[in-house]
């Protein structure tokens, strides 16, 4: 983080509101109380410099300011710097000024706040935000589960006696000559529940009505009513099992910031190792299922075997096929001492096998024909919707929290170097376009995965090299005690981890001592679902771009492989 960028935004922000003291050193926290000032300040933030990371709506009517509040959390695109804009709504009010015209990435968050908190953006944006993204017809329209005036028992009582009114699934108007082709919420294969309403003219997709929320389990309310800061990691792991490590890490990071707890180096190393193991087995699995969708069943079968052996390796080394149950606030707890040699040898063998098959299929003309130019997400569209992680990188946007906001073992430059290609390592700007892996199509997303598996393997080997010399290498309990302080009551902290889909971001506000007042979970899929939509539906303003065709939808969807449950919470 450069002091200059920090000072610049700090001084600019001071003209618009009150600057508060966040827990993190690399964060500027501005409280703005008037709608005009909020808009004026937001207009000064250039989208090229700032990306909207998360938007948290919070019911603080029982706290000092006695109102609803919205926290906009932005990340600087080039420096290790965060900006939080705290906007208290007026007392008794539920309408707020929208930032959609400046940061379209706020779209899913505004719809979320509409459903779960009953906060609405002001006109004209209000006509675009409708209830129903998270809470479907089974819920009465005036029920806002994240408000704190009703207990969960009272909520359940209302819901049990409520007869859902029959409501057709929302669909935007069909243009002449198009037909509605609904897919879901139950899909043909073994996959999560969600509904896609395609408007198709022949085979071309003209529009997509994306209806998610079927898997809404009320996770954020469970955090604040049933768990405390010490235990919350158990629920964080369950938000999306394929990203259990990333979510647990993001949660623990926030909680450890609240407790001002320093995680010891051995635990930091192993946490990063688990994060990369998670990345590897998911990328291998994804390419396997993706090639199945373009009829390369032989390669799909081989890669499914590699993926199975990777997951079994997870079980052997960490005691769980999906690496659950190890990471908790204060560090990491193992079931038995780490068998570093076994891990090193098996991982190298498996990733080499994967690399061999993946490179073969990526070189085949017939695969390239299906994948190149299919489901193109342009850099402009990716920026517009705030796409993150793998999806963004495959469209040419260098967004990776391991490099941009390095924490834990990633703060070590020598280790981080292993995550880069040789050209990148020698100072070539990560923004320079260098090859097919940034074209934004299915092929780019495959190639990016292939490269990330290789980098992650290098990274893990470097971690194991350091681990070999540690005196603690035969320990199983690598945690330090975590104590929460009463002076941090109603203080919030940010936690994040670069999961395999993208950055997972948690915002945790401490309630009395070790309780949770609010835990906002932001899975990268929330933003990337909008990116998938843009990849499928041509932007009318860009004439000449071919529409995606319906038979390509499975392979495009698999190339993103987004989380339904991570979106729905």
Of 56 and 311, the one with the shorter C-beta distance to another protein is 311
Q: Exposure pattern of 416-455 as b/e (b: 16+ CB <10 Å)?
A: bebbbeeebeeeeebeeeeebbbbbbbbbbbbbbbbbbbb
Binding track over 59-98 against another protein, x by CB under 8 A: ----------------------------------------
Interaction residues for another protein, span 318-357 (CB under 8 A): 321-322, 324
Q: Does 520 bind another protein (CB under 8 A)?
A: no
Minimum Å gap between C-beta 150 and another protein is 9
Of 42 and 280, the one with the shorter C-beta distance to another protein is 280
User: 204: helix, coil or strand?
Assistant: strand
Binding track over 229-268 against another protein, x by CB under 8 A: -----xx--xxxxx--------------------------
Q: Does 217 bind another protein (CB under 8 A)?
A: yes
Q: Does 565 bind another protein (CB under 8 A)?
A: yes
Of 279 and 418, the one with the shorter C-beta distance to another protein is 279
Sheet order of strands, 327-328 included: 327-328, 331-333, 477-479
Of 215 and 265, the one with the shorter C-beta distance to another protein is 215
Of 97 and 145, the one with the shorter C-beta distance to another protein is 145
Of 158 and 260, the one with the shorter C-beta distance to another protein is 158
Find out whether 419 and 393 touch, Cβ atoms under 8 Å.
Answer: no
Please state the separation of Cα 40 from the chain's center in Å.
28
User: 461: helix, coil or strand?
Assistant: helix
Of 287 and 444, the one with the shorter C-beta distance to another protein is 287
Report residue 89: phi and psi, to 5°: -75, 155
Q: What is the dihedral of CA 246, 444, 458, 429, to 10 degrees?
A: -100
Find out whether 74 and 355 touch, Cβ atoms under 8 Å.
Answer: no
Q: Does 214 bind another protein (CB under 8 A)?
A: yes
Q: Does 535 bind another protein (CB under 8 A)?
A: no
Structure tokens given for 10 = 């700090």
Minimum Å gap between C-beta 406 and another protein is 28
Q: Which residue stretch of 93-101, 342-350, 494-502, 558-566 sits at the interface with another protein (rule: CB under 8 A)?
A: 558-566
Minimum Å gap between C-beta 379 and another protein is 30
**Binder of another protein out of 12, 37, 131, 136 (CB under 8 A):** 136
How far, in Å, CA of 544 to CA of 205, rounded?
15
Sheet order of strands, 67-76 included: 18-20, 27-31, 82-88, 67-76, 50-60
Sorted by sequence, the CB contacts under 8 Å of residue 541 that are 6+ apart come out as none
Q: Does 216 bind another protein (CB under 8 A)?
A: yes
Q: Does 464 bind another protein (CB under 8 A)?
A: no
Find out whether 333 and 517 touch, Cβ atoms under 8 Å.
Answer: no
Report residue 148: phi and psi, to 5°: -105, 5
Find out whether 233 and 328 touch, Cβ atoms under 8 Å.
Answer: yes
Of 180 and 191, the one with the shorter C-beta distance to another protein is 191
Sorted by sequence, the CB contacts under 8 Å of residue 114 that are 6+ apart come out as 120, 129, 130, 131, 133
**Binder of another protein out of 40, 122, 138, 428 (CB under 8 A):** 138
How many residues bind another protein (CB under 8 A)? The answer is 50
Minimum Å gap between C-beta 77 and another protein is 31
Please state the separation of Cα 257 from the chain's center in Å.
20
Round to the nearest angstrom and report the end-to-end CA distance of the chain.
32
Minimum Å gap between C-beta 241 and another protein is 4
Minimum Å gap between C-beta 216 and another protein is 5
Q: Which residue stretch of 130-138, 272-280, 413-421, 552-560 sits at the interface with another protein (rule: CB under 8 A)?
A: 130-138
- DSSP secondary structure of 378-447: -HHHHHHHT--HHHHHHTT----HHHHS--GGGG-HHHHGGGS-HHHHTT--TTS--SGGGS-SHHHHHH
Element of type H or E holding 288: helix 265-293
Interaction residues for another protein, span 151-190 (CB under 8 A): 152, 155-156, 159, 164, 185-186, 188-190
Q: Which residues make up the interface to another protein (CB under 8 A)?
A: 135-136, 138-139, 145, 152, 155-156, 159, 164, 185-186, 188-193, 213-219, 221-222, 226, 234-235, 238-242, 285, 289, 301, 304-305, 307-308, 311, 321-322, 324, 563-565, 568
């Amino acid at each position: 983080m450069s002091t200059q960028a920090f000072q610049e935004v700090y001084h600019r922000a001071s003209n618009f509101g009150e600057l508060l003291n966040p827990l993190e050193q690399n964060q500027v926290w501005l409280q703005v109380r008037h709608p005009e000032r909020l808009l004026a300040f937001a207009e000064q933030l250039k989208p090229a410099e700032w990306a909207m990371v998360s938007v948290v709506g919070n019911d603080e009517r029982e706290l000092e300011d006695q109102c609803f509040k919205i926290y906009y959390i932005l990340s600087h695109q080039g420096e290790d710097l965060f900006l939080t804009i705290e906007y208290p709504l007026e007392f008794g009010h539920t309408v707020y000024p929208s930032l959609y015209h400046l940061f379209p990435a706020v779209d899913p968050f505004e719809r979320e706040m509409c459903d779960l908190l009953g906060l609405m953006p002001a006109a004209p944006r209000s006509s675009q935000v409708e209830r129903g993204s998270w809470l479907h017809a089974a819920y009465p329209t005036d029920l806002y589960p994240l408000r704190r005036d009703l207990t969960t028992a009272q909520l359940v009582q209302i819901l049990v006696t409520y007869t859902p009114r029959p409501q057709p699934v929302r669909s935007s108007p069909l243009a002449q000559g198009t037909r509605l082709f609904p897919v879901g919420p139950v899909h043909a294969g073994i996959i999560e529940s969600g509904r896609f309403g395609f408007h198709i003219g022949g085979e071309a997709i003209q529009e997509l009505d994306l209806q998610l929320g079927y898997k809404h389990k009320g996770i954020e309310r469970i955090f604040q009513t049933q768990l405390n800061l010490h235990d919350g990691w158990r629920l964080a792991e369950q938000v999306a099992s394929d990203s259990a490590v990333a979510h647990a890490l993001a949660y623990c990071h926030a909680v450890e910031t609240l407790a001002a707890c320093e995680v010891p180096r051995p635990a930091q190393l192993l946490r990063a190792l688990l994060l990369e193991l998670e990345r590897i087995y998911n990328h291998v699995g994804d390419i396997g299922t993706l090639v199945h969708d373009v009829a390369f069943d032989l390669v799909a079968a081989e890669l499914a075997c590699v993926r199975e052996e990777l997951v079994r390796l997870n079980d052997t080394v960490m005691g769980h096929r999906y690496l659950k149950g190890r990471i908790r606030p204060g560090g990491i707890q193992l079931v038995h001492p780490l068998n570093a040699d076994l891990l090193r040898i098996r991982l190298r063998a498996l990733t080499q096998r994967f690399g061999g098959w993946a490179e073969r299929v990526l070189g085949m003309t017939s695969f390239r024909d299906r994948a190149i130019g299919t489901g193109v997400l342009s850099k402009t569209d990716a920026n517009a919707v705030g796409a993150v992680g793998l999806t963004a990188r495959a469209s040419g946007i260098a967004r990776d929290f391991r490099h941009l906001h390095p924490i834990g073992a990633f703060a070590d430059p020598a280790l981080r170097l292993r995550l880069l290609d040789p050209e990148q390592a020698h100072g070539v700007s990560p923004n320079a376009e260098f090859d097919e892996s940034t074209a934004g199509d299915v092929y780019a997303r495959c190639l990016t995965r292939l490269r990330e598996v290789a980098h992650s393997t290098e990274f893990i080997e470097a971690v194991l090299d350091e681990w070999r010399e540690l005196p603690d290498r035969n320990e199983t309990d690598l945690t330090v005690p975590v104590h929460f302080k009463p002076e941090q009551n109603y203080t919030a902290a940010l936690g994040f981890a670069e999961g395999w889909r993208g950055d997972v971001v948690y915002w945790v506000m401490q309630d009395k001592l070790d309780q949770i007042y609010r835990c906002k979970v932001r899975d990268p899929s929330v933003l990337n679902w909008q990116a998938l939509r843009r990849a499928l539906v041509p932007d009318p303003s860009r004439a000449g771009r071919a529409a995606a065709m319906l038979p390509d939808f499975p392979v495009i969807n698999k190339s993103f492989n987004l989380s339904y449950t991570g979106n729905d919470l």
